[in-house]
Amino acid sequence: MERGSREPRESGECGGTYVFELSGENEELAAAEVRAVAEAEGLPFEPVARYPGLLLAETGPAEPFRRLGTGHRVLRLVDSVERPEEFETGLELSESFSVRAKRMRGGRRDLSPIDVEREIGSVLVDAGGTVDLESPERKFRAVLSREELFVGEELLELDRSFAGKRPHQRPFFHPGAVEPVTARAMVNLARAGGDLLNPMCGNGSLLIEAAKVGAKPFGLDADPAMVNGTLLNVEEEGFAAAVVTGDARSLPFRDDRFDSAVADPPYGRSVKVYGEDVYGRSMEGMERVLRPGGYMVVAAPRPLDGADERYEQRVHRSLTRYVNVFRCHE
């Protein structure tokens, strides 16, 4: 991105250059999730730049990105400069505001966040605003990257409370359940929004996150105890899902039935419930029941052949999870 560019100012709620503060679990996956949400919501999306902890992109509006699982904030870029004294708003303010500065991982050490807040704040006061750090009408953030200082207006602070509900805290628990943040990311990578299929639904973590982003979830599991447990967990969250007993290797659904599919198949000892061909046959079935252009996301302890995208996650010392993304082409 060209330094000192002023073009993104006053981009408005309908779109413009946005700064996404990414969570640190897996930044490659987090950046991919932003793109996937834009596509799921029918928004234009053009990446501008990537820095540690940050993604800049031409997109918008901001509200649809509230469903992100691996992010912290969404800002509308006001200015990008090398030094805070170069900052110009181009805004006319009549509201109260606050300014917070944050140094990202590997961010510049020649600038003090406190000094940056003071300099940016003085410019905003000159633009007509009044400082209010307790309950401001508008919030601005100055983000120190490796080279540039990005100043943006905060449009969303993403609710991460969903991440605190761990699988073992639900009414029904079985070892191996996918954590909420990963489940949300997988659902978003599947561009969930219509009918979503989750074979081998286990504890229902993926179905819960699908419901939370507005999809209509359908689950299937070969174990009746898992089906009953999934229904308990989904209902405890206040959602509804259709869940049936069935074999993922022979899905009882017609062709082109679903808009998207996500799966976290069993591995290790649990795979004996389905047999060693669980990945191949279940993926063939998911592809069959997906509409053309639909996305299928499959977590596995190894990379799966043919994936259009793949993201590696360290689960613990002896297990790495690969989130494999497939698109059923037109």
Residue 280 placed within a domain: yes
Task: Note whether 198 and 136 are same-domain residues.
Answer: no
**Predicted local confidence at residue 159, as pLDDT:** 93
CB-CB neighbours of 127 under 10 Å? 15
**Amino acid 171: pLDDT:** 94
Average pLDDT over residues 136-153: 96
On whether both 111 and 242 belong to a single domain, the answer is: no
Question: Does 322 share its domain with 178?
Answer: yes
Element (H, E) at 95: none
Q: What is the mean pLDDT of residues 268-285?
A: 67
**Has residue 165 got a pLDDT over 90?**
no
Cα-to-chain-centroid distance, residue 29? 8
Per-residue pLDDT at 213 exceeds 90? yes
What single DSSP character describes residue 112? Answer: -
Q: How wide is the angle at C-alpha 66 spanned by C-alphas 73 and 18, nearest 5°?
A: 50
Q: For the whole prediction, is pTM greater than 0.85?
A: yes
324 falls in which pLDDT band (50, 70, 90)?
A: very high
What is 12-62 written as a DSSP string? -TT-EEEEEEEPSS-HHHHHHHHHHHHHHTT---EEEEEETTEEEEEE--S
Quote the mean pLDDT of the chain.
91
The closest alpha carbon to 127, from 95, 149, 153, belongs to 95
- CA dihedral angle for residue 114, residue 116, residue 121, residue 124, rounded to 10 degrees: -170
Whether 275 and 308 have beta carbons less than 8 Å apart is answered as no
Least confident of 95-109, 161-175, 212-226: 161-175
- How much of the chain, in percent, has pLDDT values that exceed 70? 93
- Is 227 a residue whose pLDDT tops 60? yes
Rounded CA-CA distance 37/187 in Å is 10
Q: Are residues 20 and 111 in the same domain?
A: yes
Residues 87 and 108 in one domain: yes
Tell me, yes or no, whether 124 lies in a domain. Answer: yes
Residue 108 in domain = yes
Is 3 inside any structural domain? no
What per-residue confidence (pLDDT) applies to 172?
A: 93
In tens, the pLDDT along 238-250 reads 999 999 999 999 9
Going by pLDDT thresholds of 50, 70 and 90, the confidence category of residue 4 is very low
Query: Above 80 in pLDDT, residue 124?
Result: yes
25: domain CATH number is 3.30.2130.30
Average pLDDT over residues 154-176: 91
Task: Give the total number of structural domains in the chain.
Answer: 2
Domain contains 203: yes
**Average pLDDT, integer, range 288-301:** 96
pLDDT of residue 80: 96
Domain that holds residue 86: 16-157
User: What is the full DSSP assignment across 253-322?
Assistant: S-TT-EEEEEE----GGGGGGT-TTHHHHHHHHHHHHEEEEEEEEEEESS--TT-SEEEEEEEETTEEEE
Query: Is the domain of 33 the same as that of 80?
Result: yes
- Domain edge (last residue) among 157, 183, 202: 157
The residue from 157, 185, 214 where one domain ends is 157
Residue 318 confidence (pLDDT): 75
Q: Are 54 and 29 in contact (CB under 8 A)?
A: no
Task: Specify the higher pLDDT residue, 91 or 138.
Answer: 138
Tell me the three state secondary structure of residue 242: strand
The alpha carbons of the chain give a radius of gyration, in whole angstroms, of 22
Question: Is residue 201's pLDDT more than 80?
Answer: yes
Task: Please indicate, yes or no, whether residues 176 and 252 belong to a single structural domain of this protein.
Answer: yes
Do 179 and 315 share a structural domain?
yes
Q: Count CA atoms closer than 13 A to 108's CA, side-chain side.
A: 19
Same domain for 146 and 190?
Answer: no
- With respect to residue 88, please indicate whether it lies within any of the assigned structural domains: yes
Asked if 136 and 175 sit in the same domain, the reply is: no
pLDDT for 276 equals: 54
Q: What is the DSSP string of 137-166?
A: SEEEEEEE-SS-EEEEEEEEE---GGGGS-
User: What is residue 228's predicted lDDT score, i.e. its pLDDT?
Assistant: 96
Considering 91, 126, 157, which residue would you say is the last residue of a domain? 157
Residues 315 and 172 in one domain: yes
Q: Which of 59, 65, 54 is nearest to 27 (CA)?
A: 54
> pLDDT (tens digit, 9 = 90+) per residue, 42-63?
999 999 999 999 999 999 999 9
Is residue 130 domain-resident? yes
Confidence of residue 266 (pLDDT cuts 50, 70, 90): confident
